Amino acid sequence: MLFITFIKNKNMKKLITLLTILVTLTTNAQWMRESNFFIDFGPKGMIGPSLLNSNVTFDTTTSNYKHQLNSNRINYGFKLALNFGQNFSVVGEYVFTNNKQNFKVDESIKQIKSKGFEIPILLRHNNENFGYIEGGLAIVKSKIITEDFINNQLEVTELYNTQRTGLIFGLGGYLFSVENFGVSAGLRFRYDIDNFVSDENVKSVNNPIFALDSEVEKSNPMAVMFVLEFNYDLGFAMARSACGDRRKVMFTSGRR
């Protein structure tokens, strides 16, 4: 426990040091005045329906497990964006993930729950109409996967590929701003290009969902989510033209 606390304290010190450096750069650097470079960061959350791109979802005739439309995915975490002028930014995120897939078996529900995190790296384009479009890759890590069925919970992490790569595409717009603070909303589509299940492990236990007739069903998680994002701009004073135009937004004009 002491070692874990020590590691956490070291990471916290590194984070504080990094933020101090960023604040110093964004408030004192002459180059920022000339380049219109600025940084924004803040928390974000997203929620929406999810499913598996697989026969286990769309084939309703050969399996007793019927996928349910109330399956969902919830992500929450924070973002850090490096903005190069008014229109272009590179965005990094760290978000915790909670994905639930529900299957109806007779009159009962079997739920597969996956918890972990993902690290998206995105390119974002901000247009003059206060909207944005973004796309990129995500490093996906599932920490624990369980199956819940008739009040019984079983950990089955070993049956799944816990490290995957995902594709992300999103669009949205800025809602309002007050000085250096702004709020945006949008939609995000995400798709894992790697198989969710581990072929050999699923086949070895004859999993009733993913290993029908000894053939492993390829299953790629996908979701469409509503995104709410909070942004705080560092370097607004140094890059006023970029921030001011971009954040005037739909409802109010926080900066002129």
Average pLDDT, stretch 63-75?
87
Same domain, 204 and 145: yes
**Separation of alpha carbons 222 and 73, rounded Å:** 9
Same domain, 42 and 30: no
The model's pTM: 0.76
Cα–Cα distances (Å) from 147 to 68, 100, 207, 209, in that order, read: 15, 10, 12, 11
Q: Is residue 254 in some structural domain?
A: no
The pLDDT of residue 172: 96
The pLDDT of residue 133: 96
Whether the pLDDT of residue 29 is over 70: the answer is no
The pLDDT of residue 134: 97
Largest CA distance in the chain: 68
Q: Is residue 79 in some structural domain?
A: yes
Q: Is residue 229 in some structural domain?
A: yes
pLDDT in tens, 76-112: 999 999 998 888 999 999 999 999 999 888 888 889 9
Q: How would residue 49 be classed by pLDDT, with cut points 50, 70 and 90?
A: very high
Number of Cβ atoms within 10 Å of the Cβ of 107: 5
Domain count, the chain: 2
Percentage of the chain exceeding pLDDT 90: 44
Whether the pLDDT of residue 188 is over 50: the answer is yes
Same domain, 6 and 86: no
Q: Is residue 255 in some structural domain?
A: no
Same domain, 18 and 139: no
Q: Is residue 253 in some structural domain?
A: no
Same domain, 28 and 41: no
Same domain, 2 and 41: no
Are 228 and 48 in contact by the 8 Å Cβ rule? The answer is no
Name the pairing type of β-strands 65-67 and 152-155.
unpaired
Whether the pLDDT of residue 70 is over 60: the answer is yes
The pLDDT of residue 206: 62
Q: If you search the block for the tokens 């939609």, which residue do you land on? A: 187
Q: Is residue 134 in some structural domain?
A: yes
**Distance from chain centroid for Cα 28:** 33
Lowest-confidence region among 108-112, 114-118, 191-195? 108-112
Per the structure, the complete domain to which residue 119 belongs is given by 37-246
Same domain, 7 and 128: no
- Kindly state the DSSP code that residue 149 receives in the 8-state scheme: E
Same domain, 116 and 129: yes
Same domain, 137 and 122: yes
Same domain, 177 and 196: yes
pLDDT in tens, 222-247: 999 999 999 998 865 444 443 444 44
Q: Is residue 146 in some structural domain?
A: yes
Same domain, 63 and 156: yes
For residue 92, give the CATH number of its domain: 2.40.160
Whether the pLDDT of residue 208 is over 80: the answer is no
pLDDT in tens, 117-145: 999 999 999 988 889 999 999 999 999 99
Question: Kindly report the CA angle at 158 between 218 and 47, in degrees rounded to 5?
Answer: 65
Same domain, 73 and 18: no
Whether the pLDDT of residue 251 is over 50: the answer is no
Whether the pLDDT of residue 67 is over 60: the answer is yes
Whether the pLDDT of residue 30 is over 60: the answer is no
Whether the pLDDT of residue 24 is over 50: the answer is yes
Q: Is residue 252 in some structural domain?
A: no
The pLDDT of residue 1: 46
- Kindly state the DSSP code that residue 216 receives in the 8-state scheme: P
